[in-house]
Structure 1
Amino acid sequence: MTDITIVTHDGNFHADDVFSVAALKLIFPSFNLIRTRDAKVISQADIVIDVGNEYDPDKGRFDHHQRGGAGARENGIPFSSFGLIWQKYGLELCEGNKTVADSVDAGLVSTIDAIDCGYVQGVEQGISLSQTISMFNPTWQESSDFDSCFNEAVEFAVRLLKRFIASANGSADAKKIVAKAIADADDPRVIVLEQYTPWKKTVHSLSSEALYMVYPSHSGKWIIQTVPVEPGSFEDRKPLPQPWAGLSGDEFQAVTGLDDATFCHNGLFIAGAESFASVMVMASIALQS
């Protein structure tokens, strides 16, 4: 099969959808990749990753954002889309060796899943960037051309270094923008950004009162996101209301009373609406919950 269509969501990407596509590139000689949230396009795809609110491996559906998620491992780590893809294709990618497939799941896949699902117990151990660089060395089964492997690692490191520098520059500019938003807030518990800007470090250093951040998404819709108790924590200062968990579309609109409410994540840390006015109403409801 060389003409299949694979769909994942557009906008910001994360390790679970990136690694899912990477895995499928090793399975299928070629495919048409579409990044969208268009329901019609999703319904016609052969494989759907990290969008669509459906998990059915026989139908090629690999999402975990639906209410209740898509299951978890015996150790409690929930499956993200990468884990769901690995369940179906991991053994094939490891040439039928279950020991190897389980090892990759334990060392890489489950860590990515844990991070994506906010499961803090699952991210205490996992591969580091240093280990990643070390893995460019040839294994004992490969020809020991260390010089060429070193050059590959350098190319990889150059790309990362450039991104670290760009990220540092962006962080410096973001700090100014977020500091001004905190100072200008009508309610210190709800901070509004005119465009998405990295905010967590600045909010934690400048505001002990902020509970929610409000900002537009890349598509022009509006988002409300909780402020964690500290940077890197999966615990929020004040989660969104429990009845919202995992709802979307009509169900979410019925619960909130807002006809343009779009979704709320299972983890109660992010929700959205079409309009700024509606997402501010969400903030008001959340503050009173």
Structure 2
Amino acid sequence: MSEITVVTHNGNFHADDVFSIAVLKHVLPTFKLVRTRDKALIEGADFVIDVGGEYDPETNRFDHHQRGGAGERENGIPFSSFGLVWKKYGLALCDDNQAVADRVDSGLVSTIDAIDCGHVEGVSKGISLSQTISMFNPTWEEESNFDTCFDEAVEFAARMLIRFIASAHGSVNAKEIVAKAIESAEDARVIVLEKYTPWKKTVHILSSDALYMVYPSHSGQWILQTVPVEPGSFEDRKSLPKAWSGLSDEAFVDETGIDDAVFCHNGLFIAGTKSFESTMKLAAMALAE
């Protein structure tokens, strides 16, 4: 069986072609990468990325520079080569979980596509991942080989892609866990998680009653945390009692009467004890305040 050949353009590279090759590194067992603009090599390649002026997923042609581009998303963000490759292989890379694939597209792929296509509306300012990839290009003062630098960028992107997919999986799974915790809560004002799980977005979407979250920390303590009025806000739906502010160890034990009470933050948004039962007592005291 002949070796699979993947072609992308040579010279200066961008995040879209780098991440496209990164996807293929996770899809194809092995392939030969050729960076060129030679038409004969492009025509004979098994995969063509970001060059060639053609988009045809059936023949593995993934360019977006042709007249009229290669289509756009419902939100108006056009596809670059990364988006086109992700459109074909993203779902499989996410274990056929459409919610995860969509999250990766909205959080990573579409942003890179937007920047590459000059569709900057709605793209956050600051150093972007696209700019980070561009920094792998040799500067005018360096004699580095473009192809070597491209390979380094692909290795970086391949790792980033896997971590982004893992993060998306975690977010989707967390939403399910928190939703079940809300549904099964004995008191709708206090939501208990058996292990720490990202909860803020889901709680704000699904529960207007939740005031406190209870969960175990990595340090072994059980935590009581307030629910903010909205994600990212420093204002809580209901703060912890003012008398607890900044107390820890014996002072916190004396104030609460709970033998294994550990601390309460000055900001009255988080407190902890050494046991689940004690933290639930803190929650009951806070609710009664």
Q: What is aligned with 1:220?
A: 220
Larger Rg: 2
Distance 1:140 1:203, change over 3 A: same
Q: What is aligned with 1:283?
A: 283
Deviation at 1:224, TM superposition (A): 1.0
Q: Summarize the alignment of residues 104-115 of structure 1 with structure 2, pairs less than 5 Å apart.
A: none
Q: What is aligned with 2:154?
A: 154
Amino acid at match of 1:273: T
Indicate the SS of the match to 2:209: coil
Deviation at 1:139, TM superposition (A): 6.0
Q: Return the alpha-carbon distance in structure 2 between the equivalents of residues 207 and 251 of structure 1.
A: 34
Deviation at 1:207, TM superposition (A): 0.3
Deviation at 1:148, TM superposition (A): 4.2
Amino acid at match of 1:265: H
Deviation at 1:261, TM superposition (A): 1.0
Q: What is aligned with 1:265?
A: 265
Q: Return the alpha-carbon distance in structure 1 between the equivalents of residues 227 and 173 of structure 2.
A: 20
Indicate the SS of the match to 2:195: coil
Q: What is aligned with 1:193?
A: 193
Deviations 1:194-224 (A, max 9, x none): 1222212211111011111101123432111
Q: Return the alpha-carbon distance in structure 2 between the equivalents of residues 268 and 142 of structure 1.
A: 54
Amino acid at match of 1:168: A
Distance 1:146 1:240, change over 3 A: farther
Distance 1:165 1:254, change over 3 A: same
Indicate the SS of the match to 1:268: coil
In structure 2, the gaps of 5 or more residues are 1-123
Counterpart check, 1:229 vs 2:226: no
Question: TM-score if structure 2 supplies the norm length?
Answer: 0.50
Deviation at 1:137, TM superposition (A): 4.9
Deviation at 1:255, TM superposition (A): 2.3
Task: Tell which deviates more after alignment, 136-145 or 179-188.
Answer: 136-145
Q: Summarize the alignment of residues 160-199 of structure 1 with structure 2, pairs less than 5 Å apart.
A: 160-199=160-199
Q: Return the alpha-carbon distance in structure 1 between the equivalents of residues 156 and 143 of structure 2.
A: 20
Distance 1:138 1:278, change over 3 A: farther
Distance 1:187 1:150, change over 3 A: same
Q: Return the alpha-carbon distance in structure 1 between the equivalents of residues 227 and 277 of structure 2.
A: 20
Task: Tell which deviates more after alignment, 172-181 or 199-208.
Answer: 172-181
Q: What is aligned with 1:247?
A: 247
Amino acid at match of 1:228: P
Identical aligned residues as a percent? 73
Deviation at 1:273, TM superposition (A): 0.4
Distance 1:159 1:216, change over 3 A: same
Q: What is aligned with 1:27?
A: none
Distance 1:275 1:133, change over 3 A: same
Q: How many residues align?
A: 166
Q: Return the alpha-carbon distance in structure 1 between the equivalents of residues 145 and 180 of structure 2.
A: 53
Q: Return the alpha-carbon distance in structure 1 between the equivalents of residues 173 and 264 of structure 2.
A: 30
Deviations 1:5-32 (A, max 9, x none): xxxxxxxxxxxxxxxxxxxxxxxxxxxx
Q: Return the alpha-carbon distance in structure 1 between the equivalents of residues 286 and 125 of structure 2.
A: 34
Amino acid at match of 1:184: S
Question: TM-score if structure 1 supplies the norm length?
Answer: 0.50
Amino acid at match of 1:283: A
Distance 1:245 1:183, change over 3 A: same
